[in-house]
């Protein structure tokens, strides 16, 4: 190996190491900030509740409305902090890399839903993979909940789960016939706290898909979505196919 190649490899190794250090520091910073913010948010919620319970009758209609806004926004901030902490944990925890029964995971998640929601799912054959069962279960829980939520205003929701294969990957798909989205905005889907629909219509923190992306990437996979506005959406993620059945 000549000196030029060795120098390039050495530089790449240093750069990779620096990136890993920066990522660890960023995850640690996110966790610390999120953890430290929880106490003041709880205090705001607590004092707002005391005002509502003990002094609500002394407020006029506008005062009660504004107090309700404070409570609602503080609660939303608390949810966002919890989502940041969850994202941070995903990046920091060690993975247990073992064979995973993906069909079993899906049926497990579906079984936890309301009886009327269980009947919405059409689950096809799902090959197994190697990975962290707990984290992959979170992927399925997030994607299935997402499909249910954005199909909730459809007269006859239809939710489908299936898998395909290419040369080296197993590709899992979750499709629905819900509200869909404009593909021009697809680049925002997997960002933290990004939502493509009004929160008043579809409540949420906007961190569900960010969690999916982080978990899939930790498994060496990729995630994407295809959709048509008011027709439906399909979310797909691909994982390395190592022959696990």
Q: What is the pLDDT of residues 138-173, one digit of tens each?
A: 899 999 988 988 887 888 888 999 999 988 999 999
The segment with the largest mean pLDDT, out of 18-27, 72-81, 181-190, 220-229, is 220-229
Res. 245: pLDDT tops 50? no
Going 24 to 30 to 236 to 107, the CA torsion angle's sign is positive
3-state secondary structure of 200: coil
β-pairing verdict for 121-123 and 159-165 = parallel
Output the pTM of the full model.
0.70
Question: E strands, the chain, where?
Answer: 98-100, 121-123, 129-131, 159-165, 169-176, 222-228, 232-240
Choice between 89 and 70, residue whose per-residue pLDDT is larger: 70
> H or E element: which one contains 125?
none
Tokens of 28: 């640690």
Residues 199 and 150 sit within 8 Å (Cβ to Cβ) = no
| 3-92 has CATH 1.10.287 classification | yes
Q: Where in the chain is the domain with CATH 1.10.287?
A: 3-92
| 98-240 has CATH 3.30.565.10 classification | yes
Q: Which of 20, 228, 242, 7 is nearest to 128 (CA)?
A: 242
Mean pLDDT is lowest, of 10-14, 96-100, 164-168, 238-242, for: 10-14
Res. 6: pLDDT tops 60? no
Mean pLDDT is lowest, of 119-128, 183-192, 200-209, for: 200-209
Q: Give the CA dihedral 73, 78, 83, 87, nearest 10 degrees.
A: 130
Looking at residue 64, what is its pLDDT? 86
3-state secondary structure of 180: coil
């Amino acid at each position: 190996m000549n000196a030029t190649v060795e120098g390039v490899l050495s530089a790449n190794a240093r750069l990779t190491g620096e990136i890993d250090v920066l990522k660890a520091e960023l995850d640690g910073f996110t966790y610390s900030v999120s953890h430290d913010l929880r106490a003041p948010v709880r205090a705001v919620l607590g004092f707002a509740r005391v005002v509502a319970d003990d002094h609500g009758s002394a407020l006029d209609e506008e005062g009660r409305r504004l107090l309700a806004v404070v409570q609602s926004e503080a609660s939303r901030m608390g949810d966002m902090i919890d989502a940041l902490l969850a994202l941070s944990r995903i990046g920091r925890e060690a993975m247990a890399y073992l064979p995973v029964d993906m069909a079993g995971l899906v049926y497990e998640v579906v079984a936890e839903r309301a009886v009327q929601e269980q009947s919405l799912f059409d689950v096809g054959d799902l090959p197994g993979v190697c990975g962290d069962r707990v984290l992959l279960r979170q992927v399925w829980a997030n994607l299935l909940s997402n499909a249910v939520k954005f199909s909730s205003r459809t007269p006859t929701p239809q939710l489908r789960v299936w898998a395909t294969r290419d040369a080296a990957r197993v590709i899992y798909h979750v499709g629905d016939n819900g509200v869909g989205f404009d593909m021009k905005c697809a680049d925002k889907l997997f960002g933290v706290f990004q939502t493509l629909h009004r929160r008043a219509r579809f409540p949420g923190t906007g961190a569900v898909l960010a969690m999916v992306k982080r978990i899939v990437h930790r498994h060496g996979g990729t995630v994407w979505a295809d959709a048509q506005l008011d027709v439906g959406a399909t979310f797909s993620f691909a994982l390395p196919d190592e022959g696990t059945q």
